[in-house]
Amino acid sequence: MTVQDLPKTAERNFQLILIKPSHYDDDGYVIRWWRAMIPSNSLAAIYGIASDCAEREVLGPGVKIEITVIDETNTRVDTPALLKRLAQHDNFGMVALVGVQSNQYPRALDIARPFRKAGVPVSMGGFHVSGCLAMLDGKAVGLDACREMGISMFAGEAEGRLDRVLQDAASGQLEPLYNFMNDLPSIEGAAVPFLPKTNVAQTLGLSTSFDAGRGCPYQCSFCTIINVQGRKSRFRSADDVEKLVRMNWAQGIHKFFITDDNFARNRDWEAIFDRLIELREKDGIPLGLMIQVDTLCHKIPNFIEKSKRAGVTRVFIGLENVNPDNLTAAKKNQNKITEYRKMLLAWKAQGIMTLAGYILGFPADTPETIRRDIAIIQHELPLDVIEFFVLTPLPGSEDHQTLWKKGVEMDADLNIYDVEHVCTAHPKMTKQEWESIYQEAWSLYYSPEHMKTLLRRAVATGVPLASLVKVLVSFATTVPLENVHPLQSGLLRLKHPSERRPDLPRESAVIFWPRFVWETVAKHLSLGATIAKLAVSAFFIARDKKSKTYMDQALTPVGDHEDETLELFTKTAGGRAAVSHIHKVAELTHAHKVRPAV
């Protein structure tokens, strides 16, 4: 039977249910919030493609596609209600588990189970499926669970491919595997990422996201992006970006997270920025952007200046570490610690908030060296916010593939592959030491005294104080209060007894709800105290005349010979080698310039 042969009635519309799974916390409960921190770009991308399919009537003339969007980080998956809706349409539809990462894979399987039991077609895509198929043998890391349950796996990207999947699902012929990993599509001119305002409103700050490009030329061994999205970069055009900005502005949304792993390497960055500048300065759209870049972006002429004009207020930098030996071990040789201060000061000069990722657990790390390096960052680098991560062998990364091939033991529970749990052994730290220093790192960096320093630097450099306070509150409190990473956080944690992992006992409502209420009250009292302290500090610092001219080692302009004194360069062998290399290059360059002509 073809799609065209299916009976068409007004009551029987194809139900496409898009679900972005969350994952379980250490107590086995789904991590869900009243308002989540980060919008899902995978969900926006698939919704945009699916909406285009619906408009083109890919299931045949008159066959409507009704799309339901659920981001489980902020919306409960009401399985009975969804099954009832599907039953009203004779199960004419499909559940698509979107953008599933490795730590979300166990939860995704649990979501799929009742739908498959009811005979509803289910498809699963995302980094876990794609990464495992790209780097492993096609069976490793739990993929057989999909096969056993009859879940169709989708590897690759959906632009130009979703038509076929929907048609197969509608005709009851969904294939076990759609593998497009060797045929990554162009995204220029494709359907743009988009989410209705009702979904975007479930995030903090009413912000959404889009990718202006995919793929990365670098070879970081811990990264999955290069093995899922490829090392050849593909880009949206400035016209595409303008289209999605106008679509969102029409529904009152003007804040965006550009999810490109490294927007500075987008060959069309300037054309895109120029278009965004025009939308801000001529059309009056008050754009607010967050972007991700590398540590050499300041060397691109006009990049940082145009970032400011385009509306960038926050920039995430893949700093990863301050020890060159660790960077070399991770194949992140593009990071030059001798450029860190120049780069960060260039962003500071524009009054843009800087955030950096910092990985704990590289081969040279010990608790002592991590404490030392955090202190160096506090005193010598003008960073606002640090996001700490545990080095994790994510399925789809070279690190995981190497350990897998060698038969090195890795934790079997994919739920903890969330870059905040230890999943394998370390050459210099026990598991307990590694976990403890990860927890300690947050309190070390976000000490009350250092947060006051960050506020003083913000006033001196023009970083919006209120915005920084909001971010500092989240990053200083989420790990100790909620025991989850700040990027998985939100406002007001929500739980339900039915959302516990199936292999854990269901708790009595008499025990669950009183404890949940008490925990919520206690957490918010502590949170309120932190907010009050930071707000008071910000109030007095903003009104202190000395704050405008505040200066410390981190804000000091880069000098010719600072590498001879800063601990950033003197405390590690790699740092000293980096400085020696810079001196040697300078000497050779100088000698070449002064050599007399023959």
Q: What is the DSSP string of 457-488?
A: HHHHHT--HHHHHHHHHHHHHHHHHHSS-GGG
- State the pTM of this model: 0.92
CA angle 164, 70, 208 (to 5 degrees): 95
Per the model's pLDDT, the better-predicted residue between 4 and 100 turns out to be 100
Taking 70 as the threshold, does the pLDDT of residue 75 lie above it?
yes
Over range 74-88, report the average pLDDT.
Answer: 97
Among 193, 238, 230, CA closest to 211: 193
Over range 232-239, report the average pLDDT.
Answer: 93
Residue 586 has a pLDDT of: 57
Taking 80 as the threshold, does the pLDDT of residue 590 lie above it?
no
What's the whole-number average pLDDT of the chain?
Answer: 92
Taking 70 as the threshold, does the pLDDT of residue 565 lie above it?
yes
pLDDT, one tens digit per residue, over 508-517 is: 999 999 999 9
DSSP strands (E only) in 366-419: 385-390
Taking 70 as the threshold, does the pLDDT of residue 596 lie above it?
no
Residue 595 has a pLDDT of: 54
Query: In the sheet where 255-258 sits, what is the strand order?
Result: 207-210, 255-258, 288-293, 312-320, 353-360, 385-390
Say which residues have a Cβ less than 8 Å from residue 238's Cβ, sequence separation at least 6.
Answer: 268, 271, 272, 274, 275
C-alpha distances in angstroms, 247 versus 207, 254, 282? 13, 10, 17
Sign of CA dihedral 377, 378, 379, 382: positive
Residue 561 has a pLDDT of: 63
C-alpha distances in angstroms, 354 versus 79, 265, 367, 485? 41, 18, 25, 18
Q: Which residues pair with 288 in a beta bridge?
A: 255
Q: Which two tokens stand for residue 199?
A: 């979904």
Residue 4 has a pLDDT of: 46
Say which residues have a Cβ less than 8 Å from residue 165's Cβ, sequence separation at least 6.
Answer: 94, 123, 152, 154, 158, 174, 178
Band the pLDDT of 137: cuts 50, 70, 90.
confident
Taking 80 as the threshold, does the pLDDT of residue 589 lie above it?
no
Q: What is the dihedral of CA 540, 541, 546, 550, to 10 degrees?
A: 170
Residue 325 has a pLDDT of: 83
Residue 218 has a pLDDT of: 83
Taking 50 as the threshold, does the pLDDT of residue 387 lie above it?
yes
216-230, 281-295, 405-419: the lowest-pLDDT one: 216-230
215-219, 434-438, 466-470, 579-583: the lowest-pLDDT one: 579-583
CB count within 10 Å of CB 293 equals 26
Task: Return the percentage of the chain with pLDDT > 90, whole number.
Answer: 83
pLDDT, one tens digit per residue, over 179-195 is: 999 999 999 999 999 99
Band the pLDDT of 487: cuts 50, 70, 90.
very high
pLDDT, one tens digit per residue, over 531-559 is: 999 999 999 999 999 999 999 999 999 97
- CA–CA distance, 276 with 259 (Å, rounded to integer): 16
**Amino acid identity for residue 264 in this structure:** A
| Cβ density class 66-88: b for 16+ within 10 Å, e for less | ebebbbbbbbebebeebbeebee
Residue 443 has a pLDDT of: 97
Residue 285 has a pLDDT of: 98
Residue 158 has a pLDDT of: 97
- CA–CA distance, 276 with 284 (Å, rounded to integer): 11
Band the pLDDT of 264: cuts 50, 70, 90.
very high
